[in-house]
Structure 1
């Protein structure tokens, strides 16, 4: 069930630019920190795009889409702040407001060998892409602090086009260490990739970006900033020195563009524009 909510009946803004109120159909505890929320939504999305979620009395928050099955969206949300903790308190049949989808998305070509390096909660969009890129050979380097935090691991390992290569900081699953290190070891063994896909903590992506530039391997990264309006108007997600808005020109960018963003891997800005170093 979806219900349109508009601030003015005479507004010329397309209705989809206002939140649609949807009922949550399913909630699943994926990891100790993360729940997945499933709801019906009428507009289709692509891996890497995001939506803005609205809860009554709480500001909108941008969230990556973890899956679109052609009828329903799945969002994997970690309880990391006030608004996400309130999301975790919701139950099936509760209502939320959704705007989107927005932003750029990952791209691939049939026959490519692809390395995927998601960290933290980035497993959702990359898993979704892997289900679509069925004619590609994918090495999936999923990393987390420990086994319990390997998001969607059971689903990923079942994909026929995927070689699942997990790593954990404590060694409780897969290789002990970081997924970036595992990926680099594969390349040192002679494995060559046509494309690298990464999403997660920015310092992790920065390390991947540097290695890809050094080895001349094409790379796509998801550089997230605080995306308030999602229209490119408010300027809150502009990046130094280019001044481009990540809600429109991002979040997914290629490594050439990432290399021109002066703040990438150095700092970001909070919801009121204050600079925060990584």
Structure 2
């Protein structure tokens, strides 16, 4: 389906409380997004923000949102039957081939766009090792829904050891790559995590696709806010899914992103430069 470039007013069909900080908003509309694509969600008199779809069967689609900041706080106040504006879908998507062995690495809310990929993976007879990680068990996302797929080995890990293995998703990824022949890694989550996924993929000579997040104003390549240094690639138009080979030439990957004014905001220890 062609992207909607003006906000289409849609009614919220359902709201699912995934945990204290995450909600899934359900819309009955044939968006026909591809796994990994995103929409721009507009709250009148507030702002407009990008969100990846976490499910789309051609009849309804979901967006799964982590509450952080004034925009998402306002979104979390909405109820079933309330209306929002939707533009999209925008960007590219994850690319799968028939009979691949995939490892999906999802950290926190980043598991949502990976979940949207599982139906296509099943249709293409792909074997999937899904690494689901979060800081604590309360923040694990879509665990029960992922288990409903019969082509998946689910690996759960938490930083504090409250469920599954104690440790990081990247530790589990290393072990899987040591034990199995893998065709492709798909990853979405905190960028520092994905930077480590990228490094492991190169070390093990396994191809990878990673989903990047940047501040966006337009969603279709005009404003330039989401441009990656020094390549000029736009996350909204050329991404948000990027091959690992491309990201090795991106200076800001895993190091910094830009705020609404274009100023650099560094990731953690990367401030030391």
The two structures have a TM-score, normalised by structure 1, of 0.93
Spell out structure 1 runs of 4+ moving beyond 6 A: none
Does residue 6 of structure 2 align to residue 18 of structure 1?
yes
Are residue 150 (structure 1) and residue 140 (structure 2) matched?
yes
Match of 1:44 in 2: 32
SS state at 1:117 partner: strand
Give deviations 1:1-40, integer Å, cap 9, x for gaps: xxxxxxxxxxxxx992100000000001011110000012
Q: How many residue pairs are counted as aligned between the two chains?
A: 264
1:134-162 Cα offsets, whole Å, 9 max, x none, are 11110000000111111000000121001
Q: Which residue of the partner structure matches residue 110 of structure 1?
A: 98
Extract unaligned runs of 5+ from structure 2: 268-273
Over residues 196-235 of structure 1, what are the superposed CA-to-partner deviations in whole Å (9 max), with x where a residue is unaligned? Answer: 0000100000000011112110000001111210121111
SS at match of 1:196: strand
Q: Deviations over 1:23-71 (max 9, x none)?
A: 0000010111100000122331011000000001111001111110211
Distance 2:127 2:113 in 1: 17
Cα distance change on mapping 1:241 and 1:15 into 2, 3 Å: closer
Root-mean-square deviation over aligned CA pairs? 1.2
Task: State the secondary structure of the residue aligned to 1:121.
Answer: helix
Are 1:72 and 2:90 an aligned pair? no
Partner residue, 2:214: 225
TM-score by length of 2: 0.94
Matched ranges for 1:82-161 at <5 A: 82-134=70-122, 135-161=125-151
Contact 2:31 2:60 in 1 (8 A): no
Most deviating of 47-56 and 125-134: 125-134
How do 1:218-257 residues align onto structure 2 when only pairs under 5 Å count? Answer: 218-257=207-246
Cα distance in 2 between the residues matched to 1:160 and 1:104: 27
Long gaps (5+) in structure 1: 1-13
SS at match of 1:20: strand
Bigger Cα displacement from structure 2, 119-128 vs 203-212 = 119-128
Q: CA deviation at 1:122?
A: 1.3
